[in-house]
């Protein structure tokens, strides 16, 4: 099994950023990097939502290696709404999309790690949610993160957010589009 060069380049860039994670998030970063060493196959088909039009403008605001390598794989991803998205919250319904890069439905079908991306239109709030695995986010744009132990925070490009296992958390876009990567060992 050979990994596509575009995916390998993206993971190489992600490793540079993940190695900068400090504190309890460093264990999460190390775990995902260890688990993705062996490539896996995929049968994912690309899908897109209108909100994905914000990806290019979000990426245009920077020129990092991680952003450039993500730009080369984003059109291959299967972008969709969060499973529990509610049509009653139209701003969120129309204003967000998630895609799995490594994991179920991703560019590598696997169940030891989830790596993915979230895009949101300007001003959109990603509502409170939780999940059992701990998580590290790497921002690819401006944006704010909240969790039950942390006030709203923008870590900035090159920064990271750590969410402990099971904690309630949320994100929101400011006046610019929001784009971020998430990494969970499962």
The binding track of 15-54 with respect to Fe ion, each residue x by CB under 5 A or -, is ----------------------------------------
* Cα(99)–Cα(43) distance, integer angstroms: 14
Query: Apex CA 14: angle with CA 117 and CA 145, to 5°?
Result: 50
The binding track of 117-156 with respect to Fe ion, each residue x by CB under 5 A or -, is ------------------x---------------------
Rounded least distance, CB 170 to Fe ion, Å: 9
Residue closer to Fe ion, measured from CB, 28 or 63: 28
Number of residues that bind Fe ion (CB under 5 A): 1
Q: Which residue of the chain is nearest Fe ion when measured via CB?
A: 135
Tell me if 127 sits within 8 A of 170, measured CB to CB: yes
Tell me if 161 sits within 8 A of 116, measured CB to CB: no
Residue closer to Fe ion, measured from CB, 74 or 135: 135
C-alpha pair distances (Å), 132 with each of 10, 166, 181: 26, 4, 18
Q: Which two structure tokens, joined as six digits, stand for 119? A: 């895009």
Rounded least distance, CB 167 to Fe ion, Å: 9
Q: At what angle do helices 5-18 and 25-35 cross, to 10 degrees?
A: 160
Q: Which two structure tokens, joined as six digits, stand for 157? A: 């490009």
Residue closer to Fe ion, measured from CB, 108 or 135: 135
Residue closer to Fe ion, measured from CB, 10 or 146: 146
Residue numbers at the binding site for Fe ion (CB under 5 A): 135
């Amino acid at each position: 099994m050979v990994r596509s060069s575009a995916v390998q380049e993206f993971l190489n860039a992600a490793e540079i950023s993940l190695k900068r994670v400090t504190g309890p998030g460093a264990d999460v970063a190390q775990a995902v990097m260890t688990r993705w060493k062996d490539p896996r196959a995929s049968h994912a088909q690309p899908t897109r939502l209108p909100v994905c039009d914000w990806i290019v403008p979000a990426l245009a605001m920077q020129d990092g290696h991680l952003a450039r390598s993500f730009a080369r794989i984003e059109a291959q991803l299967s972008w969709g709404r969060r499973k529990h998205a509610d049509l009653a919250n139209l701003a969120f319904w129309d204003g967000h999309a998630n895609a799995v890069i490594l994991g179920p439905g991703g560019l590598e079908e696997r169940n030891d790690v989830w790596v993915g991306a979230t895009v949101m239109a300007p001003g959109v709030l990603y509502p409170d949610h939780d999940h059992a695995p701990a998580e590290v986010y790497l921002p690819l744009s401006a944006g704010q993160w909240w969790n039950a132990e942390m006030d709203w925070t923008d870590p900035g490009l090159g920064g990271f957010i750590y969410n402990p296992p099971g904690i309630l958390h949320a994100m929101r876009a400011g006046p610019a589009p929001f784009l971020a990567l998430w990494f969970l060992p499962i």
